[in-house]
A and B are shown apart, each in its own frame.
Chain A
Amino acid sequence: MGGEALGWGEIIGRMFMQFMPVWIALVITFALSIAYKRRLGLYGKLFDSVIGMIGFAMVMFWIFTGVFNGFFDLIATHDVLGQSSSMKNKPPGTPYTKLIGGVDPDAYGYYLLGGDNLGRDVFSRMVAGGWEVIKIAPFATIFAFMVGITLGLPAGYYGGKFDTTLSFVANLILAFPVILLFYLLVTPEIVQTGIPVYLAGVLFIFPIIFLVILWNSRYFTQPATRNLYIGITLVLGLWLYLGIAWDADPFGLISFPPNLLVVFVSVVFVNSPTVFRIVRGLTLDIKTRDYVAAAQTRGEGPWYIMLWEILPNARGPLLVDFCLRIGYTTILLGTLGFFGLGLSPESPDWGSTINEGRKLLTIYLHPALAPALALLSLVLGLNLLADGLREESLRD
């Protein structure tokens, strides 16, 4: 058995060193942003608010960690799936040993945050878990926004039967307890029936519809430009759509693992109705403004008014909600992991790791505590960022 166990001071020092690329990237980002903040619009104004800056730093920390670890393999010290039976439930700072065979001399000498119940490195799994979240949460939120905006704008603008029906359906989905919905949707049996694929087929078409209407309403007086934009959108969009939703990419380049798809779809499905309600409410408010009346008098089409007059004026509240919603999506992904739904049990995402760790929680704290604090810091960062944005966008 090699070496002494590390003390807490040394553990923190070594973790600080492991995150060095992240610190460098953070310092560069902040130096550049603060230097040019007067020219960067709302993003630059964020650096006037202390709370916003703290939130931004916490979010960027996890984004940089995810990118450096996911693409360059820089941060993590061990393989996330590598087990060592002599490291089971070992406290933080234990020297890395193996029961069978020698230790690879190039391997990192310690488990900085200890080992979990299978003898895997908690620190590496925590770092890798961040990437799992950052891979899914922002995109799921963007999709939910596309769905919510494409349906919420006409519902608020036209009102009537269309609005009543959609609002009823939105309230229907919102009346479901989220966990019950997850238990019904995210199971291997449901994946077998193909329902997630159909849901994905419906939900993922909305971004394409949104972009096509967006370009068409803006450039319909210049057919050449319009056709170019719509053409690009359709070719790229349908290619991605076929690959992601139906797993039928004609070139065989894009595919999406089915158990990830079901997680993605159910998170979008849960988030869309709330976005729909927010967009609908904002539209109801903004459509009574004078500039909308002016556009109507000019003879602009309804979709132009909705997408190019109403939507840009709703951007403040929507941006704030977007930040909050990424945080909420992160919580939802953690909930899925916590109940062992969807992602594979080996997956290093934070929810699954907390679920693994909670079984022996009162005896061995570290396997569950590390991912719990990591998740807390990311969601807190997003909430603080949203708060900073709200403050700065209200100041205008």
Chain B
Amino acid sequence: MGMFILRRVGVLILTSLCLTFVVFFLTNLYPNLEKLAKTQGNFRMTDEEVATYLNNNGYLQPVFAKYGQWLGVLPGYVIEGTDGTVRAKCAGPDEPLEEAPTFCGVLQGNWGYSTVFRDDAGGIIAEKLALTGKLMFWVMLLMVPSALVLGVLAGMREGSRTDRTLSTVAITTTATPEYVSGVIFIAVFASTTVGLKWFKGTATSAMDGANFENFFLPVLTIALYGMGYIARMTRASMAEVMTAQYVRTARLKGVKFRNIVLRHALRNALIAPFTVIMLQFPWLLNGVVIVETLFNYKGFGWVLVQAAGNNDIELLLGVSVVSVFVVLVTQLISDIGYVYLNPRISVS
């Protein structure tokens, strides 16, 4: 087991390195840098001015050198600009150069500087992650129990009318992407002109004080898309367990149907959905980006859109590290959990 986890952590680190390098490479292509220079300076800069700006700020070094500096394995640049000012990666705008450390990368805990928000990238990510964490917590609280109940009810009598109805509901929710269900929910529940006017169409106020009125719609929108998939997996797994020998034996013994479902079938039926729930995290991340944009909730997904749209290199790298980390760690947990829950499988 120890070896298994160690190997998976190794793969995790290798994957993160590869992915951040891909992001780094794509954001550091010259047309992207040109766009960055123009948004930082002004839009009427000539080509020479763009080149000077980029050179003075260390953007024109070879890509591997820049990546090493960002990672913190190479010393940060110290460049004397054409205007005579000496700029160093590790020194803030007002700090003297002599006191700046040699290395300042992710390994030293320095996530760089966001050019859009003009702030420390690490701080922004931490703050926004907390907001998205709040959203995700409520999503999970709504999604997981309702999906499991839906799946168990549908799967305990396969082919019955309840099963058909619930399966159709599950298919419908998986066929409704967040930007469609969000629009429909706003139309029905939040429009100022027609409809029920129960909830608010934006969740901006939920960032400080979330309540049922301003937070329920975004939570429901994300939860619904993932719910159908988990419910279908639970149904399949439940239906399989219900045909197993020991369930038949229990039934022949005369155990009540209620007890068969709750005592005999449920525990074994929930192994498969557990892995599925864990593997849903990467999908939820997409949902978060869409819903935060639609409902104007300024969390992690919203930052991703802002950073990517404005080619904010270091913020975007931080965002990708976090999201890749979430994806890989949930995969790891799902594998380990599967082994623990299912005694028939062993790693070695």
Inter-subunit contact B308/A183 (CB<8 Å): yes
Inter-subunit contact B180/A363 (CB<8 Å): no
Inter-subunit contact B187/A361 (CB<8 Å): yes
Inter-subunit contact B175/A179 (CB<8 Å): no
Inter-subunit contact B308/A380 (CB<8 Å): no
Inter-subunit contact A334/B177 (CB<8 Å): yes
From A171, A358, A362, contact of B15 by CB (8 A): A171
Does A51 touch B at the CB level, under 8 Å?
A: yes
Inter-subunit contact B15/A175 (CB<8 Å): yes
How far, in Å, is B18 (CB) from chain A's closest CB?
6
Chain A interface main SS type? helix
A331 and B27 CA atoms in complex are apart in Å by 26
A157-214 interface with B by 8 A CB criterion: 168, 171-172, 174-180, 183-185, 187, 189-190, 192-193, 195
Does B52 touch A at the CB level, under 8 Å?
A: no
| Residues in chain A near residue B81, CB distance under 8 A | none
The interface-forming segment of A37-45, A219-227, A308-316, A368-376 is A368-376
Residues 155-195 of chain B, each 1 if its beta carbon lies under 8 Å from chain A, else 0: 00000000000011001101111011001101100111110
The interface-forming segment of B137-145, B248-256, B323-331 is B323-331
The interface-forming segment of B30-38, B65-73, B120-128 is B30-38
With known contacts A172-B15, A184-B23, A376-B176, A387–B171 Cβ distance under 8 A: yes
A373 and B32 CA atoms in complex are apart in Å by 36
Inter-subunit contact A372/B192 (CB<8 Å): no
B32-62 interface with A by 8 A CB criterion: 32, 34-35
| Most chain A CB within a 10 A radius of its CB, from B167, B289, B311 | B289
With known contacts A362-B190, A376-B176, A176–B324 Cβ distance under 8 A: yes
Inter-subunit contact B319/A193 (CB<8 Å): no
Inter-subunit contact B171/A383 (CB<8 Å): yes
| Residues in chain B near residue A184, CB distance under 8 A | 23, 26-27, 308
Does B320 touch A at the CB level, under 8 Å?
A: yes
Inter-subunit contact A190/B31 (CB<8 Å): yes
Inter-subunit contact B183/A358 (CB<8 Å): yes
Does A339 touch B at the CB level, under 8 Å?
A: yes
| Residues in chain A near residue B179, CB distance under 8 A | 334-335, 338, 351, 354, 358, 372
Residues 275-303 of chain A, each 1 if its beta carbon lies under 8 Å from chain B, else 0: 00000000000000000000000000000
Residue of A whose beta carbon sits closest to that of B324: A175
Inter-subunit contact B19/A339 (CB<8 Å): no
Does A152 touch B at the CB level, under 8 Å?
A: no
Does A12 touch B at the CB level, under 8 Å?
A: no
How far, in Å, is B225 (CB) from chain A's closest CB?
10
From A180, A185, A187, A334, contact of B304 by CB (8 A): A180
| Most chain B CB within a 10 A radius of its CB, from A177, A362, A364 | A177
A350 and B64 CA atoms in complex are apart in Å by 41
Does B290 touch A at the CB level, under 8 Å?
A: yes
How far, in Å, is B82 (CB) from chain A's closest CB?
25
How far, in Å, is A55 (CB) from chain B's closest CB?
9
The total of chain B residues at the interface (CB under 8 A) is 52
| Residues in chain A near residue B290, CB distance under 8 A | 179, 335, 338
| Residues in chain B near residue A192, CB distance under 8 A | 31
How far, in Å, is B31 (CB) from chain A's closest CB?
4
Inter-subunit contact B168/A51 (CB<8 Å): yes
A339 and B323 CA atoms in complex are apart in Å by 19
How far, in Å, is A176 (CB) from chain B's closest CB?
7
Inter-subunit contact B194/A383 (CB<8 Å): no
Inter-subunit contact B29/A183 (CB<8 Å): no
Inter-subunit contact B15/A365 (CB<8 Å): no
| Residues in chain B near residue A372, CB distance under 8 A | 179-180, 183-184
Inter-subunit contact B32/A176 (CB<8 Å): no
A339 and B286 CA atoms in complex are apart in Å by 12
Does B282 touch A at the CB level, under 8 Å?
A: yes
From A183, A195, A361, contact of B183 by CB (8 A): A361
Inter-subunit contact B171/A365 (CB<8 Å): no
A373 and B203 CA atoms in complex are apart in Å by 23
Residues 307-336 of chain B, each 1 if its beta carbon lies under 8 Å from chain A, else 0: 011010000100110011001100000000
Residue of B whose beta carbon sits closest to that of A368: B183
| Residues in chain B near residue A187, CB distance under 8 A | 32
Inter-subunit contact B19/A175 (CB<8 Å): yes
| Residues in chain B near residue A376, CB distance under 8 A | 175-176, 180, 184
How far, in Å, is A256 (CB) from chain B's closest CB?
21
A187 and B282 CA atoms in complex are apart in Å by 23
With known contacts A177-B285, A383-B171, A383-B175, A375–B180 Cβ distance under 8 A: yes
A357 and B176 CA atoms in complex are apart in Å by 18
Inter-subunit contact A365/B193 (CB<8 Å): yes
A92 and B175 CA atoms in complex are apart in Å by 26
Residue of B whose beta carbon sits closest to that of A191: B31
A335 and B171 CA atoms in complex are apart in Å by 20
How far, in Å, is A51 (CB) from chain B's closest CB?
7
| Residues in chain A near residue B316, CB distance under 8 A | 180
With known contacts A338-B179, A372-B183, A384-B171, A177–B19 Cβ distance under 8 A: no
Inter-subunit contact A193/B31 (CB<8 Å): yes
With known contacts A172-B18, A179-B304, A189-B32, A354–B26 Cβ distance under 8 A: no
Does A122 touch B at the CB level, under 8 Å?
A: no
Inter-subunit contact A369/B29 (CB<8 Å): no
A351 and B183 CA atoms in complex are apart in Å by 12
| Residues in chain A near residue B29, CB distance under 8 A | 189-190, 193, 195
Inter-subunit contact A183/B19 (CB<8 Å): no
How far, in Å, is A285 (CB) from chain B's closest CB?
17
A189 and B327 CA atoms in complex are apart in Å by 28
Residues of A bordering B, CB below 8 Å: 51, 168, 171-172, 174-180, 183-185, 187, 189-190, 192-193, 195, 327, 331, 334-335, 338-339, 351, 354, 357-358, 361-365, 368-369, 372-373, 375-376, 379-380, 382-384, 387
9 more A-B residue pairs beyond the given contacts A362-B192, A365-B187, A369-B187, with a C-beta to C-beta distance below 8 A: A176-B320, A177-B304, A179-B286, A180-B23, A190-B29, A195-B29, A376-B175, A382-B175, A387-B171
12 A–B contacts from the bound complex (CB under 8 Å): A172-B15, A179-B304, A183-B309, A189-B311, A339-B305, A354-B183, A368-B183, A376-B175, A380-B171, A380-B175, A383-B171, A387-B167
The 5 closest A-B CB pairs, nearest first, are: A183-B308, A189-B31, A380-B175, A379-B175, A362-B201
